[in-house]
């Protein structure tokens, strides 16, 4: 089976999580690094690539752009061929936001790029002005009509100073992917500082690009004429790490996650400690102990990195339903990332919301319920809450979960959760074949 719209997770709650797990490579690092293969005609190997639907779909898009690939055991070999202008099929473009990342490399290499409206989670307006204004600053003509964006630069891109209106993650990555082959120096000011941007920059440097400052507010790029292949290991998935830690906390469990990066999760780890978990960490290991003590309420603001990750805002809201008092969660990155709240209420959570601000009163006893995840992290939050609920819960919307988590059900089962996928026997991550995209709502 595949985790389609008919599948659901059956979870019997109140099982304490314990044990040790390795986390997967990062979804949001895999996607820009895959797109970077469009910048070279030499082979590229990515290691620690999560088996998730967004990766399958981007590989499909790359295949249509003359980059063939093979994947096995978390390794993806990409074999770019002679590059010519092209465009992702509209249905694949609409299946994930990262489809738009082909624009920067195509524009830089062929002087022409085009992409239909990119999809992804429906969590806000998600405009593209940062990408488009950046391409214009690099000398491209950019036209958007009926959702399709076309950018042309027949005489090539020229380095420029680009001041981003917002430190957009994909916007920064797209401009980085374009500027590495532009003539002269580019400075991206107010750049996103996420670890995934740093991972992409480090891959580009391995390919021969001249990039400095990734991970800081200003990235400087000196364009080169051509780039070589690369062999890159992706960074660990900080959002998968965070989701598992929060899941362990809500079950009053104790888990140890290895091959992760504690330094990428400082905001979450300090918040978990404030709530009352005992967190021990070394560079690549995080041990969380939530067995004893009363959970304290907390205030959380989702912000660009290194602030608290918006992708963990819904999961931590689920945890805060178990804190002893009133917590406030303020989503400040996306304007409509609160669709999990109604579903959490079905489980018994007491939450009053005013736009992006949620006031959570706890502790609320949670009871099993049937809920629907409407995006990747909303679905994860419902899984987290169901782990703490008395009795059986069902979480559907797994086509969203499968976009971003390689095997959340298996991981939780290994840690002691009673969780299974109903309507088939597969796990969320156990699929090597590329499947057609689910329709975006």
With respect to ligand EPU, which residue has the nearer C-beta, 304 or 362? Answer: 304
Residues paired with 328 in a beta bridge: 299, 359
Residue 409 Cβ vs ligand EPU, minimum distance, rounded to whole Å: 17
The phi and psi torsions of 400 (rounded to 5 degrees) equal -75, -50
Closer residue to ligand EPU (CB): 127 or 391: 127
Kindly write out the interface string for residues 298-327 of this chain, putting x where it contacts ligand EPU by CB under 6 A and - elsewhere. ------------xx----------------
Nearest-10 Cα torsion for 198, 161, 139, 103: 20
| Structure tokens given for 277 | 């978990």
Q: With CB under 6 A as the contact rule, which of the stretches 11-19, 56-64, 71-79, 127-135 interacts with ligand EPU?
A: 127-135
* CB nearer to ligand EPU: pick between 54 and 112: 54
Three-state SS at 198 = helix
Nearest-approach distance from CB 59 to ligand EPU, in angstroms: 15
Contacts of 146 (CB under 8 A, 6+ apart): none
- Helices 169-179 and 103-110 cross at an angle (nearest 10°) of 20
Left, alpha or beta for 292 (phi > 0: left; psi -120 to 50: alpha)?
beta
Q: Could you tell me the smallest distance in angstroms from the CB atom of residue 313 to ligand EPU?
A: 9
Residue of 126, 281, 345, 413 interacting with ligand EPU (CB under 6 A): 126
What is Dmax (Cα atoms) for the chain?
65
Site track 180-219 with ligand EPU (rule: CB under 6 A), x = hit: ------------x---------------------------
Rounded CA separation 220/326 (Å): 44
**Secondary structure letter of residue 216 according to DSSP:** S
Is residue 168 at the binding interface for ligand EPU, with CB under 6 A as the rule? yes
Question: Please, which residue, 192 or 246, has the CB nearer to ligand EPU?
Answer: 192
Question: Which of these segments, 129-137, 216-224, 274-282, 286-294, binds ligand EPU (CB under 6 A)?
Answer: 129-137
Pick the binder of ligand EPU from 17, 21, 31, 35 (CB under 6 A).
Answer: 31
Question: Which residues on adjacent β-strands are paired with residue 325?
Answer: 362
Instruction: Decide if 88 contacts 102 (C-beta within 8 A).
Output: yes
Sites of contact with ligand EPU (CB under 6 A): 27-28, 31, 97-98, 121, 124-131, 166, 168-171, 192, 310-311, 333-334, 376-377, 404
């Amino acid at each position: 089976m595949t985790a389609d719209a008919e599948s659901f997770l059956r979870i019997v709650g109140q099982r304490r999580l314990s044990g040790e797990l390795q986390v997967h490579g990062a979804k949001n690092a895999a996607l820009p690094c895959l797109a970077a293969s469009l910048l070279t005609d030499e082979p590229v190997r990515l290691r620690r690539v999560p088996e998730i639907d967004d990766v399958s779909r981007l590989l499909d898009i790359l295949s249509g752009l003359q980059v063939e690939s093979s994947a096995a055991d978390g390794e993806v070999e990409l074999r770019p061929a002679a590059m010519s202008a092209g465009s992702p099929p509209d249905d694949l473009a609409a299946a994930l936001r990262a489809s738009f990342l082909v624009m920067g490399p195509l524009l830089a290499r062929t002087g022409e790029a085009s992409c239909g409206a990119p999809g992804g989670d429906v969590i806000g307006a998600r405009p593209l002005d940062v990408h488009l204004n950046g391409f214009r600053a690099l000398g491209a003509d950019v036209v958007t009509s009926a959702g399709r964006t076309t950018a042309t630069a027949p005489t090539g891109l020229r380095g420029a100073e680009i001041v981003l209106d917002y430190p957009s993650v994909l916007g920064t990555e797209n401009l980085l992917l374009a500027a590495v082959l532009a003539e002269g120096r580019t400075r991206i000011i107010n750049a996103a500082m996420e670890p995934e941007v740093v991972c992409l920059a480090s891959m580009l440097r391995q390919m021969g690009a001249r990039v400095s400052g990734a991970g800081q507010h200003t990235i400087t790029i000196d364009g080169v004429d051509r780039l070589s292949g690369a062999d890159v290991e992706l960074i660990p998935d900080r959002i998968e790490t965070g989701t598992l830690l929060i899941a362990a906390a809500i079950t009053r469990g104790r888990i140890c996650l290895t091959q992760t990066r504690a330094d990428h999760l400082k905001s979450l780890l300090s918040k978990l400690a404030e709530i009352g978990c005992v967190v021990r960490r070394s560079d690549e290991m995080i041990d969380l102990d939530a067995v004893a003590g009363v959970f304290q309420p907390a205030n959380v603001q989702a912000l660009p990195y290194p602030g608290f990750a918006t992708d963990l805002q819904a999961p931590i809201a689920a945890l805060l339903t178990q804190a002893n008092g009133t917590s406030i969660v303020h989503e400040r990155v996306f304007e409509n990332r609160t669709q999990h709240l109604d579903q959490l209420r079905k489980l018994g959570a007491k939450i009053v919301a005013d736009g992006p601000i949620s006031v959570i009163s706890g502790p609320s006893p949670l009871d099993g319920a049937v809920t629907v995840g409407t995006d990747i992290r909303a679905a994860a939050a419902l899984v987290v809450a169901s782990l703490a609920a008395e009795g059986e819960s069902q979480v559907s919307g797994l086509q969203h979960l499968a976009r971003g988590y390689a095997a959340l059900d298996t991981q939780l089962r290994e840690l002691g959760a009673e969780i299974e996928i109903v309507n088939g026997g597969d796990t969320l991550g156990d699929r090597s074949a590329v499947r057609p995209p689910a329709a975006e709502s």
